[in-house]
Amino acid sequence: MKIKNKSTLIIAILIPLALGTLSALISGNMSLYSTINKPPLSPPGFIFPIVWIILYILMGISSYLIYESDSPDKNKALKTYAAQLFFNFWWSIIFFRFSLYLFAFLWLLVMIFLIAVMIYQFYQINRFSSYLQIPYLLWCFFAAYLNFMIYRLN
């Protein structure tokens, strides 16, 4: 990966990190996770921030590669990226702040669809960029399992 503009890369990484942090702050009730009934395979609560920091960094690097590309399709791909970030931002607020587990699950399904579309669009522009998004997609599938089961158990 060749870095053309370090400050643009830093901004691209800070955008998802800042949105994730703001979402967590607005969600406020993250301790809810320790009190609700959880399904098998539920990780301990401290795992989530670690995973999300890694995923947000990968998202930022990935979006930077698309932003710096010469592809005429980059604006369309970045709009999809922004749309999935919007859904990402609101998911934890819906789930943790409002405890709307079923709605959060449906919201997450839309987000997964947007991530899949984004990966496809990124792949058309920069394959490595799309590969950086695969852990995010897999984590969201796992989150969907947890979200749905928490809905069922609570």
The CATH number that domain 6-30+42-153 falls under is: 1.20.1260
What percent of the chain stands above pLDDT 90?
Answer: 91
Instruction: Tell me the per-residue pLDDT of 43-78, one tens digit each, with 9 for 90 and over.
Output: 999 999 999 999 999 999 999 999 999 999 999 999
pLDDT of residue 28: 84
pLDDT of residue 34: 85
Positions of the chain with pLDDT lower than 50, given as ranges:
none
Domain boundaries, the chain: 6-30+42-153
pLDDT of residue 32: 81
Residues in the chain: 154
DSSP 45-99: TTHHHHHHHHHHHHHHHHHHHHHTS--TTHHHHHHHHHHHHHHHHHHHIIIIIT-
